[in-house]
Amino acid sequence: MCSSNSSYTMKTLVLLFILGLTNSRISYASIIGYAGSFNVLDYGAAADGITDDSQAFLNAWNDACSSAGGSPEVIIPPNMIFLLSPVTFRGPCNSENIYFVISGRLVAPSSPGIWTGQDASQWLAFRNVSGLIVDGSGTIDGQGQGWWDQSCRYHPDMEGCTRLAPTALKFIFCSQSSISNIYFGNSAQTHILIERCNGFKVDSVMIESPGNSPNTDGIHIQSSQYVAITNSKISSGDDCISIGDYTSNVQIYNIQCGPGHGISIGSLGKGGNFAQVENIHVSNAFFYGTTNGARIKTWQVGRGYVRDVIFENLEFNSVKNPIIIDQNYCDVRGACKEMVTGVQISNVIYQNIFGTSSTNIAINLNCSMSVPCTDITMQLIQLTSATPGTATPGREVTAYCRNAYGQEYSIEPGPCISEY
């Protein structure tokens, strides 16, 4: 009988110890090395959309990140609103994979003043994490209106107008990582930034910001390799997807873009920088009412190269510049003087492309006289006017090519490209 009581007492003490750990800021899971779930509510998140929950998120992340073995999960539960100040989730973590499951709604502070004394370029960020998997059915709401209202782009005469605003979510030095199924809305500036990452996938995300919101790129890739963006819908006030310097091996597949500025390589070479962009493949994309479609844009003062690019299986609906290369970009648009510098653009393929242009020039390859575009291939392209008149079908729009060399087959409008 005495032995039974002792056993019961010991079990009770163990249970009380476990409960004490669970209710403390140091989770039981992290103490015993079990890679389990780390719910932000257990770390004191108020989830009322008013109280700052940043510290609760950081505490949950730090416990999950330090958990050994398995695949720990940070859980943001559904049907709740979490207000977060600027916060960075840092690695490296102990486990091979770590999940960040967003089922609720994350909202940014509505006032730009919250960023006083902090890095105005970012709201949420993951840094130096390998095997990160961000997933869920939740929302990331940048509440960008306050920033847009003081943007220098639309209010250049406003004292203290803003040129730099927060990116909603940054991934920096994140390898073999991914984000999927998240809804992004109204970022102050760029929605997703992938920077200095090796092996990153974006799948089935939806991004929505007004077409007149300033500099709200959907996804920007910078200095990264082996990136895939698939099965996503992007509406924004700037590029749906943009590709920056030192980026290679990018696959973009099954994208809906519009409104926005299209899918762009560049701008590259600003300030005389050396650009290195190669092995870019864009396929099965639909553009609706965008400023550009498939675009490559480089600064006249730039150096380096863009090479081995494929744009294929694209559909345009009333796009201003369906196919465009601008190798003569400069500070004063329309007043660019010829320069001996330039970013070399070569081995670019456009194939199986059709749709309508809302301007007269459907194909515009404005290449440099000093560093011309070479090995350009165009085949199976059919572009017509979005507002057809009485002209012969297919002849209502034109093609303009300058210093562009290569070959073309079955092109309308055309011919355009110069042979060697």
Distances (CA, A) of 326 to 152, 258, 297, 385: 25, 21, 5, 22
Residues 6+ apart with CB under 8 A from 80: 47, 104, 105
Contact 202, 179 (CB under 8 A): yes
What tokens were used for 295?
């675009």
261 is catalytic: yes
**Phi, psi (degrees; rounded to nearest 5) at 31:** -70, -45
User: What single-letter DSSP state applies at residue 55?
Assistant: H
Which one of the listed residues 155, 191, 220, 261 is annotated catalytic? 261
| C-alpha span between 308 and 198 (Å, rounded) | 19
Phi, psi (5° rounding) for residue 348?
Answer: -115, 130
Cis peptide before 112 (omega within 30 of 0): no
* Residue 286 amino acid letter: F
Distance CA 100, CA 45 (A): 16
> 43, 53, 40: which is closest to 100 by C-alpha?
40
CB 123 within 8 A of CB 138: no
Element (H, E) at 220: strand 219-222
Catalytically active residues are 261
